Amino acid sequence: MISSLPPKKVTVKYMNKPRFQDSVVIVTGAGTGIGRATALAFALEGAKVVLAELSPDLCSTVAHEIRVANGFAISIPTDVSNPNSVQSMIETVKLEFGRVDVLVNNAGVFPRIAWDDLTLEAWDKTHGTNLRSMFLCCKAVTPIMKAQDSGVIINLASIVFLLGAHTEMTHYISSKGGVVGFTRSLARELGRHNIRVNAISPGAVQTESEAAVVTPRDEALVMANQCLQTRVQPSDVANAILFFASQDARAITGQNLVVDNGWAMN
């Protein structure tokens, strides 16, 4: 007997394709904090992640985390302030993948040193890691991106450049100001090659490196200055980085996005 009831409606569910499926993404300083969170986030979105991290042990640890989560990662211990080390890393990436879709310049240091105690050596080391490294990595990667007529570069700056109010951080603040200027200028230089360049300025992010220097009083001051009464997490910054790298941001370049729970209000 043929049923007179209408046939059941069949609902077909389509899995969303990961945003960065098979994209090649380099993350510098990927061993801890924002870099680690960013590498993990890209891997979960299908990217082939290159961990360019100074510490071989941290490189291996994060690569293992990604593989356990069924992601893809290769670790290349890299001193991003050294041109030979950077070029070697890029050459390895070219041989392995033949392309670079996203470069995240995250590596950075922020030692607190009073102005009277600030030496030229400390100044150079801070600028070497925070700014020179971005020049070297961008110089090495842009020929690849130009050849493929596409690419995204994301540089990590900081809200301290916007606030300019912290003591014992003149070397750090000036380096991060340089990152913002570098980002804007490079966006102009590379736009005609379909390469987007943006910056992210995190606020006070709850990372391992922060925990080593921040006191309870420091944390209380952070909370007093923020609109939102929670701590910014590395994953919050990673989410902003993935947005800038995605097609959702295809019309955005030369910008500086603040991720600080409403502190600098830029």
Which positions are annotated as active-site residues?
172
Task: Give the whole-angstrom CA distance, residue 65 versus residue 68.
Answer: 5
List Cα–Cα distances, 187 to 20, 51, 198, 202, in angstroms: 22, 24, 7, 20
Q: Name 50's bridge partners.
A: 26, 74
Q: Which run of H or E residues covers position 57?
A: helix 56-68
Task: Give the whole-angstrom CA distance, residue 146 versus residue 119.
Answer: 39
Q: What is the largest CA-CA distance in the chain?
A: 95
| Helices 56-68 and 33-44: angle between axes, nearest 10 degrees | 30
Q: How far apart are the first and last CA of the chain?
A: 71
Residue type, 58: L
Backbone conformation region of residue 109, classed left if phi is above 0, alpha if psi is from -120 to 50, else beta: beta
Q: Are 198 and 257 in contact (CB under 8 A)?
A: yes
Task: Give the whole-angstrom CA distance, residue 156 versus residue 142.
Answer: 18
> Do the strands 102-105 and 72-77 form a parallel or antiparallel pair, or are they unpaired?
unpaired
